Amino acid sequence: MTSLMQLRTNTIKKGVIMKKVIMISMTSLASLFLIVSCSDSGGFSSGGTAPTVAEEPESVKTQDLVAPEGFSFNPIEEQRLIVDLSGSLPARAHLSVYSNFSEKDEGEYRVDYGSKIIDVPLANGAVDIEFAIANSLEESVVEIWLYDGSDPQQKKFVVDGTQWEWY
Looking at the structure, tell me whether residues 149 and 84 fall in a common domain.
Answer: yes
Q: Give mean pLDDT, residues 133-141.
A: 94
Which of residues 94 and 29 earns the better pLDDT score? 94
CA distance 167 to 164: 10
Angle at 31 between CA 28 and CA 37, to 5 degrees: 140
- Whole-prediction pTM: 0.58
Q: Give mean pLDDT, residues 125-136.
A: 94
Residues in the chain: 167
Looking at the structure, tell me whether residues 91 and 143 fall in a common domain.
Answer: yes
Looking at the structure, tell me whether residues 32 and 84 fall in a common domain.
Answer: no
Q: Give mean pLDDT, residues 124-151.
A: 94
Structure confidence at residue 138 as a pLDDT band (50, 70, 90): very high
CA distance 19 to 165: 95
Looking at the structure, tell me whether residues 44 and 110 fall in a common domain.
Answer: no
Q: Is residue 66 part of a domain?
A: no
Looking at the structure, tell me whether residues 98 and 41 fall in a common domain.
Answer: no
| Residue 151 pLDDT exceeds 90 | yes
Looking at the structure, tell me whether residues 85 and 161 fall in a common domain.
Answer: yes
Total domains, the chain: 2
Q: Residues 15-67: pLDDT tens digits?
A: 556 666 566 666 665 665 666 565 555 555 555 566 777 788 888 888 888 88
Q: Are 153 and 104 in contact (CB under 8 A)?
A: no
Q: Are 79 and 130 in contact (CB under 8 A)?
A: yes
Predicted pLDDT of residue 62: 87
Domain extent, residue 88, equals 76-166
Q: Is residue 70 part of a domain?
A: no
Q: Is residue 40 part of a domain?
A: yes
Q: Is residue 132 part of a domain?
A: yes
Q: Is residue 153 part of a domain?
A: yes
Which of residues 158 and 57 earns the better pLDDT score? 158
Report the b/e string of 18-49 with b at 16+ CB within 10 A: eeeeeeeeeeeeeeeeeeeeeeeeeeeeeeee
Q: Are 126 and 85 in contact (CB under 8 A)?
A: yes
Query: Which CATH number fits the domain that encloses residue 88?
Result: 2.60.40
Looking at the structure, tell me whether residues 104 and 156 fall in a common domain.
Answer: yes
Query: Nearest-CA neighbor of 80 among 118, 115, 109, 107?
Result: 118
Looking at the structure, tell me whether residues 35 and 113 fall in a common domain.
Answer: no
Q: Is residue 64 part of a domain?
A: no
